[in-house]
Structure 1
Amino acid sequence: MSGRFDQPTLFGGAQRLVYDEAVELTLQSMQAYGPTHDHWVFAFSGGKDSTATLTVIVHLVEAGRLPRPKSISVLSADTRMELTPLTIAGNLLMERLRSMGIYCEVVTAPLDKRFFVYMLGRGVPPPNNNTLRWCTRQIKVDPMTAALERRIGELDGSILMITGVRQGESAIRDGRIAMSCGKDGAECGQGWYQQVLPEAKGIRGKIATLAPLLHWRVCNVFDWLKIYAPMAEYGAWETSMVADAYGGEEAEEINARTGCVGCALASEDLGLKTVIRIPYWSYIEPLLGLKPLYRELRQPTNRLRKSGVERLKDGSIAANPQRMGPLTMEARLYALDRVLSIQAECNEAAIRLGRPLVDILNAEEEARIRELISLNTWPDKWDGEEPRADTPLDAVYADGSVQPLLM
């Protein structure tokens, strides 16, 4: 990259890694390790770091500054619950990469494992941070792991997994990367490259991982997404919507974290609140209604409860014999109607304003939820005959003793 863009307000400061230097270090790491692998594979989340990593590397290849490997593969995780700007930006990026001859695959959880289908069709309560954190693994980690193993198994030769991991400011000392030694004999200062020998069946050859933007600071990431990437000379990438998801013009100052809309695990829906502050995206404000809905569904009136002594397979008594469990059928149908209403409210405004539609629950998923409800589907060890969780019951203790309900 040339230094033609002198913008001290963006790149200045004695302790700040200037943009051209950041890209040069990325180029050096890719030149050192990229050519030693036949295939490059990106696990793309759609967030700011993975978007910057993917577009920077592909640009460097297209500009002739990096030799093209035998193949480039991009696997994009679609949880069906991402912030609307990230979903749209990710889809546009995949379309662009496919037109360039790059293998692209959008990875989604199986229908019955998707967030709303699993929760409203099977009746599993909304996830929480204590005993029921099921969402991240089920709708993102497991599908991506399976897809990566499958894709890597299809490729002959050595594989370089390229990630968007960043170390940030702590990786910068005296204008260079100062990292501890890496694994497998990597030199000091190059600890972001690690070789691993996968255990998954069907994967041939040694796989290495590389985080070529490890040294980038958040300012470098947003400078690329907001200023450079959209320029024709840098590839004309449509990355502005990614910056929007983190706060638009104030993205760097806010440095918000994104996640699922209405994230059931977060104390506050900061990602969505940040997005709707931008006038263009204000029409998706009804999505703020998801988080209160999840809180409502956790209440005893919307769930079942075990009523007596529960014995396990080994004959012992369950530690929590009167634990609350799945959502009642009434609660599931109520929640389904609320989610559809929230989505419809967003999309009515989207059509009126000519904006992108919200798609968190499609017709196939709705139909499957209704089918599972009609089939009287419950989580394992529940049959729907249990009392509602707000029903007064005799107290059952962990030792099996019972305290009759006082009338």
Structure 2
Amino acid sequence: MRTLSLFDEERLSLPKAIELSIESLQHYGSFYKHWAIAFSGGKDSSATVTLVANLIETGQIPKPESLTVLFADTRQELPPLHSAAMGILEELRNRGFDTRVVLPELDYRYFVYMLGRGVPPPSNTFRWCTPKLKVMSMERELEKLREERGEKFLMLTGVRIGESAARDQRIAISCTKDGGECGQGWFQQSSSNAIADTLAPIVHWRVCHVWDWLLQADLELGFPTYEIAKVYGQDVSDGEEPLNARTGCIGCPLVQKDAALDRVVAQSEWAYLAPLQKLRPLYWEVKKPQYRHRKHGELNKDGQLAAKQGRLGPLTLEARRWMLEQVLEIQEEVNRAAIARNYPIISLINDEELARIEELIAAKVYPEKWDGTEPTGDVMLPEIFPDGSVQHLLFNSY
């Protein structure tokens, strides 16, 4: 065996990582009667929820008076991940744990918000999807849980170092605030009037620990977690270097390449989902000027000419109707193949959402400060300068 030098560091094993997680849960968990777990269906939150459930069942950590698992269902998860999440929730319920599926309010669901109100697909400069689909609904459910419990509870998350540089920086700053060490779990304490304090019990786990645990949770503990590894493209039994891949929503318009969906449809049992690859090009298409209204000659609240003349805004009613047809056709194409193969069907837009979208389009609903009388973005218009002067077009195109 090679002797470690002063410059070597002992590599953290999964058993040692679990031991540190137990220590943090025993210590911080003892201060709270009630716990909750934020569950997204991804690899890290799945590892967290199955780990905590197993540690409670085996008596390695004390069982709180209540443990509530909150699944944030955006209705935009990759179908195999959503199916695995539903399987995990069912297994947790069978073991006596309280689980809740948290949905966005109807008008804030992805396609209702986009096609019903005309809000363009999210972008890196206008990322409305996360707050509307996940944050707002989870905050509402957490407030409800706080009222039910009558006191502040402990919120467990799957936050882990190495997921992103920005997140690592937030963890580093937070750890210096409370004097904790990341190896013992990242703990954030808030005021006594707050909804919950937060603990990330696997913050110190490496990605290989996550994959190893997900395999163990499936083979030894009965949780359907192996499918999660397959979605991420990681065969945890092949001996290769574990992937630190991340997944997003179906056809995420914020990325240049939807690697997660590509990995899914490359596998034979999910190849029938291939029509979903048409979504991202569709999102990019409707961002173009001809599908959107734009402001021209807009005044600010002081009656002065607004600074951003010509800014693109919501989707036109015609664009929304056309896009709705495209999305429904993609959904139908997937489901025809699913039924033919006896595979699970998908629901991009369900009946309730479709009815609401059609209702909002019929009512000509637009986002605040837009009414649909604005010209479309492809119409050539005179340029208006800040002083109010106008540069007329040499040739009229209308």
**TM-score normalised by the chain length of structure 2:** 0.88
For 2:67, what is the secondary structure of its paired residue?
A: strand
State the partner residue of 1:144. Answer: 138
Match of 1:18 among 2, 9, 13: 13
CA displacement 1:353-406 (0-9 Å, x = unmatched): 222222221111111111111111111111112222211211223332211111
Change (3 A) 1:169 1:347: closer
State the partner residue of 1:3. Answer: none
Gaps of 5+ in 1: 1-12, 171-177
State the partner residue of 2:4. Answer: none
Aligned pairs for 1:304-383 (under 5 A) are 304-307=293-296, 309-383=297-371
Stretch deviating more after TM superposition (284-293 or 358-367): 358-367
CA RMSD in angstroms, aligned pairs only: 2.4
For 1:215, what is the secondary structure of its paired residue?
A: coil
Contact in 2 for aligned 1:180/1:189 (Cα 8 Å) = no
Deviation at 1:257, TM superposition (A): 0.9
State the partner residue of 2:388. Answer: 400
CA displacement 1:62-87 (0-9 Å, x = unmatched): 11222211000111111111111111
1:87 aligns with 2:82: yes
Query: 2-side partners of 1:328 and 1:198: how far apart?
Result: 47
Query: 2-side partners of 1:134 and 1:247: how far apart?
Result: 28
State the partner residue of 2:167. Answer: none
1:31 aligns with 2:31: no
Change (3 A) 1:127 1:189: closer
Match of 1:211 among 185, 196, 200: 200
Contact in 2 for aligned 1:41/1:72 (Cα 8 Å) = yes
Which residue identity lines up with residue 60 of structure 1 in the other structure?
Answer: L
Query: 1-side partners of 2:10 and 2:283: how far apart?
Result: 44
Deviation at 1:340, TM superposition (A): 0.8
Query: 2-side partners of 1:168 and 1:304: how far apart?
Result: 41
1:247 aligns with 2:241: no
1:301 aligns with 2:290: yes
Contact in 2 for aligned 1:167/1:216 (Cα 8 Å) = yes
For 1:249, what is the secondary structure of its paired residue?
A: coil
Contact in 2 for aligned 1:180/1:188 (Cα 8 Å) = no
CA displacement 1:325-371 (0-9 Å, x = unmatched): 11111111110011111111111111222222222211111111111
Which residue identity lines up with residue 155 of structure 1 in the other structure?
Answer: R
For 1:230, what is the secondary structure of its paired residue?
A: helix
Contact in 2 for aligned 1:169/1:217 (Cα 8 Å) = no
Change (3 A) 1:61 1:247: same
Query: 2-side partners of 1:191 and 1:290: how far apart?
Result: 39
Stretch deviating more after TM superposition (95-104 or 322-331): 95-104
Stretch deviating more after TM superposition (160-169 or 340-349): 160-169
Deviation at 1:191, TM superposition (A): 6.1
For 1:284, what is the secondary structure of its paired residue?
A: helix
Which residue identity lines up with residue 292 of structure 2 in the other structure?
Answer: R
Contact in 1 for aligned 2:20/2:185 (Cα 8 Å) = no
Change (3 A) 1:85 1:395: same
1:275 aligns with 2:269: no
State the partner residue of 1:64. Answer: 59
Change (3 A) 1:83 1:189: closer
Query: 1-side partners of 2:193 and 2:60: how far apart?
Result: 34
1:153 aligns with 2:147: yes
The total of aligned residue pairs comes to 378
Deviation at 1:119, TM superposition (A): 0.7
Contact in 2 for aligned 1:85/1:244 (Cα 8 Å) = no
**TM-score normalised by the chain length of structure 1:** 0.87
Change (3 A) 1:265 1:187: closer
Change (3 A) 1:393 1:157: closer
State the partner residue of 1:118. Answer: 113
State the partner residue of 2:50. Answer: 55
Deviation at 1:156, TM superposition (A): 3.3
For 2:64, what is the secondary structure of its paired residue?
A: coil
Deviation at 1:37, TM superposition (A): 1.4
Which residue identity lines up with residue 20 of structure 1 in the other structure?
Answer: P
1:108 aligns with 2:103: yes
For 1:358, what is the secondary structure of its paired residue?
A: coil
Percent of pairs identical after alignment?
Answer: 50
